[in-house]
Chains A and B, each alone.
Chain A
Amino acid sequence: MTRAKSQRNAPETRYASNWVAAWRRFRRSGLAMFGLVYFIIILFVAVMAPVISPYPYDRVDYGITLQLPTWQHLLGTDYLGRDMLTRLMWGARPMLLVGILTGAVGMVIGVPLGILAGYLGGAFDWFIQRLVDLFSALPWYLLVLYLVMVLSPSVWNLILALSVSSWVGSCRLVRGLTFSAREYDFVEAARALGIPTRQILARHVLPQIAPLLLWGFATSIPGSVFAEAGLSFLGIGIRPPIPSWGQMLGQAGQYWMYYWHVFLFPSLCIVISVLAFQGLADGLRQAIDVNVNV
């Protein structure tokens, strides 16, 4: 069949659907792909940690404390002789848990408030603004001290402590988006047709800003990973013997000058994870940008 034929009836198939086009744009950024692949790997490692880790994470072996990487212990051992590789694998769990759940809790609280504030405006918006200012000015260190001293130390309390400030971010983002979404013609049209506000918000405004919420959620993850590492570093985060990267880093504080492995591997994990999530977020933003030219 000559080229002419193929060219004649080829035009229709090339306009791919929205999501495939978004995927093609997402794929174009190398960092985004790295982020996606890394996320899948880390998720697998976190879930399968008990199975694939060479040693139990809390097995203490005094014979080999602070040993540099060897064949039995690929990444060496820490100051109590526990295997670093195992602890890093287990450390992925709190990182993911805190990273994702803090963002999720933040969204669950922040999104509805943000939409209502953005859409209704007036007194309600003014009140939400004051609430947002209040929460973002709260003394973070005192708050964490309080939560740790009063509540028993656990991952869930850590998430609670972090989401106190994370909802502010998503609320601000959503409020901004709703402000611009409110001006769109189809929203005005819906209002003109007398559709109740609740329905407009749910069926018109939310789907319109949903893609960008996804991006906002992805960008909040690096922030939460940092915070978890910071808290554990200050000694008020995840409780031993459950390992977390920030906690391992904190304890490495005394030995890092000469036992580089105790310091290097956890910080490497944190840096790579944050890099991956930021890449993921940027990729999402690129993919979404064309659909919703906000």
Chain B
Amino acid sequence: MLNYVLRRFLGILIMLLLLSFVTFVLSRTVPGGPFGKVEVPMGKKQLELFKAKYGLDKPILEQYVTWLGQAVRLDFGVPFTAPEMTVTGLIFKLLPYSALLGFLACVFSLTVGIILGMIAAAHQNSWLDNAIVTYSIVVGSIPAFVLGFVVVYVFAAKLAILPAGGWGGPKYLVLPVFAYGFPAIGGVARWTRQCMVDTISSDYVRTAYAKGLVRSQVMSKHVLRNALIPMVTSFLPMFPGMMTGSMFIEMVFGLPGLGKQFVLSSTNRDYPMVLGITVFWALLLSVTYFITDILYGVIDPRVRITQKSS
């Protein structure tokens, strides 16, 4: 087991290294710089002074090595646009906002999706099943920004019952969470239905009934426990994916968050911030995939054995 864990972490480290280098070079070579958002470009001398101050005048490779040296000690430098904070400080300041939005959206889409999926599976091949499956395909094909507009138009402008943006009490979150979670419902419902249907039609469920178990006992102890495995492995990564912030939703609704910060940092060429967020996202995602695999082992004994041996 240890060998498997070590190999996995080595993989993550190397990926992060490669990713940070590619992002580092990429962000430096995009035209325009942190000094660029002005009406008139800075004079040559002023430019040199500015670059010297932020160490941008050294060759890219050297800058990368210094950055890496600090990054290894978890010091990701200071964002240009918020000099009073550190990159990690700003990330962890904005993360709760994105995390809250993403978490609520995930919970929303999972609960609705799983319920729909179960209903569809319970009434397999009935009109209800077909209705839910078609609905989830349609929902899946509506792009997020289209939905964002429609939702804002209907609730904020026409009915004027919910604020269209900004950050305040809970009612500011209703629309963004709906717009963010809604598209995912389709996928969740179809995958839940698929897992449930496969499990219900399996032989060991028939054996469970043959043993004299009541329908509810069969459902909870046998069906759910087996259907859970594929569901968990695909639903768990949804959380970090959504909780690290969404660019569209945070921009359309004007919410603070990592997604919007990443877009702003990119347009302001705030290099330390761009790198910090990218590495943070990659680390969070790969750790979650790792945890999902481990969890996969906990839930499904068959995998646990093979993990010990490999």
Find residues 216-239 in chain A having any chain B CB closer than 8 Å to their own CB. 222, 226, 229-230, 233
Taking a contact as CB atoms under 8 Å apart, the answer to whether A141 and B266 are in contact is yes
Taking a contact as CB atoms under 8 Å apart, the answer to whether A142 and B23 are in contact is yes
Distance in angstroms between the alpha carbons of A279 and B12 in the assembled complex? 36
Taking a contact as CB atoms under 8 Å apart, the answer to whether B266 and A138 are in contact is no
Taking a contact as CB atoms under 8 Å apart, the answer to whether B30 and A142 are in contact is yes
> Does A134 interact with chain B (Cβ within 8 Å)?
yes
For the complex of A and B, the 10 pairs showing the least CB-CB separation, nearest first, are: A274-B141, A137-B282, A133-B15, A267-B146, A275-B141, A139-B278, A146-B30, A134-B18, A149-B31, A271-B141
Interface of chain A: mostly helix, strand, loop or mixed: helix
Distance in angstroms between the alpha carbons of A274 and B141 in the assembled complex? 5
Find residues 266-281 in chain A having any chain B CB closer than 8 Å to their own CB. 267, 270-272, 274-275, 278-279
B148 CB to nearest A CB, Å: 10
B97 CB to nearest A CB, Å: 19
A259 CB to nearest B CB, Å: 12
Find residues 107-158 in chain B having any chain A CB closer than 8 Å to their own CB. 134, 137-138, 140-143, 145-146, 149, 153, 157
B142 CB contacts on chain A under 8 angstroms: 267, 271
A221 CB to nearest B CB, Å: 11
A263 to chain B: closest residue by CB = B149
B interface residues, how many (CB within 8 angstroms): 38
A126 CB contacts on chain B under 8 angstroms: 11
Interface of chain B: mostly helix, strand, loop or mixed: helix
Taking a contact as CB atoms under 8 Å apart, the answer to whether B286 and A133 are in contact is yes
B1 CB contacts on chain A under 8 angstroms: none
Distance in angstroms between the alpha carbons of A129 and B281 in the assembled complex? 18
Taking a contact as CB atoms under 8 Å apart, the answer to whether B143 and A270 are in contact is yes
B133 CB to nearest A CB, Å: 9
Contact with A along B164-183 (1 / 0, CB 8 A): 00000000000000000000
On whether A145 and B30 interact (CB within 8 A), knowing A126-B11, A138-B22, A271-B138, the answer reads yes
Taking a contact as CB atoms under 8 Å apart, the answer to whether B262 and A249 are in contact is no
On whether A142 and B27 interact (CB within 8 A), knowing A130-B18, A134-B18, A278-B141, the answer reads yes
On whether A226 and B143 interact (CB within 8 A), knowing A134-B22, A278-B137, the answer reads yes
> Does B306 interact with chain A (Cβ within 8 Å)?
no
> Does A290 interact with chain B (Cβ within 8 Å)?
no
